[in-house]
Structure 1
Amino acid sequence: MATEQDVQGLAGLVRRLDEASASAAHYPHLPALQPLRDAWQQLHADSRLRIALQQTPAEGGPLNSAVLVHRMLDTMHALSPAYLRHFIAHADTLAWLERLPPANAAATKRPPRKRGKAER
């Protein structure tokens, strides 16, 4: 379950993204571009899948994480290619969000700890 701090952090991130997109007048939302976006998403997901499947280790045990991910991707591709594309897009978005610097980078740093008499 999400804590109040997580919710505030997520709300802050959504606010930052909304403010940044609202101030970007040079990048309006054009509905006519949606088929192009969908085609790009499909090509990108297929490319990422092809790369991931080529990097499968030859000598992995049954519980090797790389082998398990390979089997999961392969099975997901066989059962529901559309869901796999959605999953890859979601994972790419999470990877992109992870690279964002925190909004309050200065506030997250801890002040230096004062040393007591016992540590001196």
Structure 2
Amino acid sequence: MSRPPSGDASPPVRPAHGGTHAPGGDVTASTPAVDGIAIAAIVSAVGNVVFGSFLGLFLPLLPAAFALVSVALGHLALVRIRRTGRSGRGLARAALAVGYLGLVAFALMVCGTLMFTGYGLALMGF
């Protein structure tokens, strides 16, 4: 394919998908930005896994609160990613999985505590 003479060249056109022209005339695609809410969701989920067991000794409802925050932010991030087309879907899904697992673990601990407390009280004659 021949190039037009330099005097007839039209100005460069930016591609519709947001890429840029490389010096050789090739078009390079730019990656979409990662959604900030997805990052906040995964940070909350990882923070709950790392610090939740220790802080749960002093504030027993704190791991459940962090799990709820992770789940809420994960769902918000998925909706926002679907609407805007940003990346971060994997981060949001990972935060949802960790958050829901944290909520299930918390529910099992509460049920176990209540069950064994009732069993202990029954053994003592109450």
What's the TM-score, normalizing by structure 1? 0.28
Q: Give the TM-score taking structure 2 as reference length.
A: 0.27
